[in-house]
């Protein structure tokens, strides 16, 4: 796997009826849901990491810690950036930040590991018996 510190991916998502707290069950209000923000953060990190993977490899999330600092209402765009802060063997650590036009709305950290797809899936499927 080839990935350097400082590599980043930025994604944008518009707050709509599908990613509101009231729609995903994480609250009653019509604002960007924390689970939706976390999903965008993890997606940005996964896409960032995919740049360094080779044939037969994938990445899996193993740890995420996030603060949702401010609400974003329907119609606004949320920009999410995942930046590589450390590479240690198969583990890659990211800093995460989400913002809307008013400033930072969330931040956190995330760790992902490189796995061999065939080995990983074989182990997971053993659980089926």
In 3D, which of 38, 32, 41 has the Cα closest to residue 10? Answer: 41
* 17: annotated active-site residue: no
**Contact at 8 Å (CB) between 25 and 63?**
no
Whether the CB-CB separation of 54 and 1 falls below 8 Å is answered with yes
Query: How deeply is 122 buried, as exposed, middle or buried, from its count of CB atoms within 10 A (0-12, 13-18, 19+)?
Result: exposed
Instruction: Respond yes or no: is residue 54 known to be catalytic.
Output: no
68 is catalytic: yes
Question: Which is catalytic among the residues 2, 14, 34, 62?
Answer: 34
Which position among 14, 18, 42, 102 bears the catalytic label?
42
The active-site residue out of 7, 68, 72, 83 is 68
**Annotated catalytic sites, by residue?**
34, 42, 68
């Amino acid at each position: 796997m080839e990935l350097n510190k400082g590599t980043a991916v930025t994604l944008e998502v518009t707050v709509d009826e599908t990613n509101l707290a009231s729609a995903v069950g994480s609250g009653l209000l019509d604002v960007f849901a924390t689970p939706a923000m976390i999903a965008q953060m993890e997606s940005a990190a996964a896409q960032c990491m995919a740049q360094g993977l080779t044939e037969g490899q994938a990445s899996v999330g193993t740890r995420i810690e996030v603060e949702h600092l401010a609400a974003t209402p329907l119609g606004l765009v949320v920009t999410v950036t995942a930046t590589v802060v450390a590479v240690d063997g198969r583990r890659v650590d990211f800093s995460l930040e989400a913002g809307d036009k008013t400033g930072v709305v969330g931040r956190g950290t995330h760790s992902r590991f490189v796995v061999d797809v065939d080995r990983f899936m074989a182990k997971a499927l053993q659980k089926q018996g």
